[in-house]
A and B are shown apart, each in its own frame.
Chain A
Amino acid sequence: MKPRSLTSLLLLLTVAAFMLSLMAGKVWIWPSAWAADNADGWIFLELRLPRAVLGLCIGAVLGLSGAVMQGYLRNPLADPTVLGVSASAALGGVVAIYLGVNMLPFGLFACAMLGAGASILLLLAISRGGGPIGFILGGMVLSTLAGALTAFVISIAPNPFAASEIINWLMGALTDRLVADVGTALPFMAAGAVLLLSTGRALDALTLGENGARSLGINLFRLQWIIVLGVGLAVGASVAVSGVVGFVGLIVPHLIRALYGEQPSGILLPSALGGAILTLTADSLVRLVPGPGEVRLGIAMAVLGSPFFLLLLLRYRKASA
């Protein structure tokens, strides 16, 4: 199929997944009831709509960030979490819950973004002039440190309820997001996405290696800044509103490459759409699992994602053997 018709198909699927996310749940709300002045209409406006918008945006920025990270590091196993931004934003959120700042309006969001911002600055300082290797090692160190500090905060939680609240938040979900939360996160994600979408040509040039790219006039230092800022803003904001949702950034670019070919610039936008489709669909499915509570999206994604990724790996092995 031609890329253009493929993209139309992905757009169509995105719209379908968005509609599904608006309707699906313990209570199905059909389009006829969306504007109704009753409980259904209220659920739609206050719960479903923000949740669907959030799923769309988070999925899109995670898919896009994954595609950019894999292109930049020229490694199909990279994903946004290797930068340590997710872990740092999560640490910020966890500290906010521990201190009770999450009771204030935007308290949790601000703390998580602070965590993401701190990680961006640290990362740029650590990896200055080091190229992708310094960058990935810096990210790993940050990730590990933030993870350890997160565990520390959980271990000193004043009571089991606080600990469970923290753990629950960490697992990542789109439930009970208020319109205000969504409104706060969107500009950050949009700014990050714009930065990330601008990297296509430089990522293409990196196909030739670092010297090849530089000889084509690409400023790798600038590219690194754009990527750190873009991923930091987009993924930081997504963690701030939904906790850590893994695997989207890792899996989606692979699927898109199978459809579009491997040119890094060619998979950026499609990966954003693919991320949105996957996240919206998974988030609709977790609502439909019968039982008292809801499966956390982060868990569902990991449970569905890991075997799938294993399959991909096996296929790669076969192809390269």
Chain B
Amino acid sequence: MTLTVRNLSFAHAHKPTLAGIDATFEARKLSVILGPNGAGKSTLLACLAGLLSPDTGAAHLDDEDIRNMAPTARARQIGLLPQGAETHWAITSEALVALGRIPHMRGAGPSADDRRAISAAMSATATESFANRPVTQLSGGERARVLLARVLAGEPQWILADEPLANLDPGFQLDILGLLRRQAEAGKGVIAVLHDLHHAVRFADHILLLHEGRVFAQGSVSEVITAANLAQVYGIDANLFKDEEGAVQLIIKGKISS
């Protein structure tokens, strides 16, 4: 199962945001989209989620053009964790998680399947203990987990997360990354937009590095995260080495003065 984009271009108000993007994302992998601010990461994710229609090219889920899928059918396959952790009303955590079932709901109330998926999602994210608390009263870390549970409750094959770690302390960041990792290991395709290079190096199976609306590099961690690439894309001076366990370690030394 793959999510692919072929020759995808998108312009925001006549300003090109993405140009000629070719990329393939696979199930069972945690793919990370990296790139500086304004590189087009969120735009690409929105195209993959079917929220934006590319100007040229297309995003395909297996062989089907995402734009040709019925919105509800698409929503059952592709779950999106949007940027910003928006929650507008003080509904309970459980009610929020239940929103993830909307693409599946037919009748008035939740079915047995819906209830099972909701409780499975809450137990996977360890959010049952505050099921009855209003989401507005949760800490940032708790809310991030509830919002992720909302995506999981829809049981999508693909999980797209747009900066899921923003505003979380290091512990909560690792919680969320661990949850995403486990979803990939369970067979889902996970695509996350991240900013933290250390997290990308440690958790990603596959990295897509965007720069000025184009694919700068893609592949495994060691293929993409090189000192030369980081210097060119971010203008940073980084040291990369393998530790005694063979894992890639990254040390950012500073900004390259231009």
Contacts and interface: CB of A to CB of B under 8 A. Distances in A.
Contact of B99 (A205, A219, A261): A205
Contacts of B105: 201
A219 B88 contact: no
Given A206-B88, A209-B84, A209-B88, A214 B96 contact: no
Contacts of A216: 75, 99-100, 102-103, 154
Interface in B199-223: none
Nearest to A209: B86
A217 B74 contact: yes
Nearest to B90: A262
Interface in B67-94: 70-76, 78-80, 82-84, 86-92
A202 B118 CA distance: 19
B89 A264 contact: yes
A263 B143 CA distance: 17
A221 B159 CA distance: 25
B88 A207 contact: yes
A100 B75 CA distance: 55
A262 B150 contact: no
B102 A218 contact: yes
Contacts of A207: 86-89, 91, 96, 99
Contact of B89 (A201, A217, A262): A262
B91 A261 contact: yes
Given A207-B87, A209-B88, A215 B82 contact: yes
A211 interface: yes
B89 A215 contact: no
A14 to B, nearest CB: 22
A40 interface: no
A211 B46 contact: yes
A264 B99 CA distance: 12
Interface in B85-125: 86-92, 95-96, 99-100, 102-103, 105
A204 B99 contact: yes
B59 interface: no
B247 interface: no
A204 B99 CA distance: 7
B3 interface: no
A284 to B, nearest CB: 33
Q: Classify chain B's interface size.
A: 35 or more
A217 B80 contact: no
Nearest to B80: A215
Q: Is the interface of B mostly helix, strand, loop or mixed?
A: mixed
Given A212-B82, A263-B95, A201 B102 contact: yes
Contact of A215 (B73, B75, B92): B75
B228 interface: no
B23 to A, nearest CB: 20
A219 B80 CA distance: 15
A74 interface: yes
Contacts of A218: 71, 102
A313 interface: no
A169 B46 CA distance: 50
A36 B69 CA distance: 64
A208 interface: yes
B51 interface: yes
Contacts of B39: none
Contacts of B5: none
Interface string B142-155: 00000100100010
B34 interface: no
Nearest to B79: A215
A211 B80 contact: yes
Interface string B53-76: 000000000000000001111111
Nearest to B88: A74
Nearest to A71: B89
Contacts of A219: 71
Contacts of A261: 90-92, 95
Interface string A210-243: 0110111111000000000000000000000000
Interface string A11-41: 0000000000000000000000000000000
Nearest to B76: A217
22 contacts: A205-B99, A207-B89, A207-B96, A207-B99, A209-B82, A209-B86, A209-B88, A211-B82, A212-B86, A215-B51, A215-B79, A215-B82, A216-B102, A216-B103, A217-B70, A217-B71, A217-B103, A219-B71, A261-B91, A262-B90, A262-B91, A264-B89
Given A214-B71, A216-B154, 20 more contacts: A204-B102, A209-B84, A209-B88, A212-B86, A214-B51, A215-B49, A215-B51, A215-B82, A216-B100, A216-B103, A217-B70, A217-B73, A218-B102, A219-B71, A261-B90, A261-B92, A261-B95, A262-B90, A262-B91, A262-B134
Interface of B: 46, 49-51, 70-76, 78-80, 82-84, 86-92, 95-96, 99-100, 102-103, 105, 134, 147, 150, 154
The 3 closest A-B pairs by CB, nearest first: A217-B75, A209-B86, A215-B80
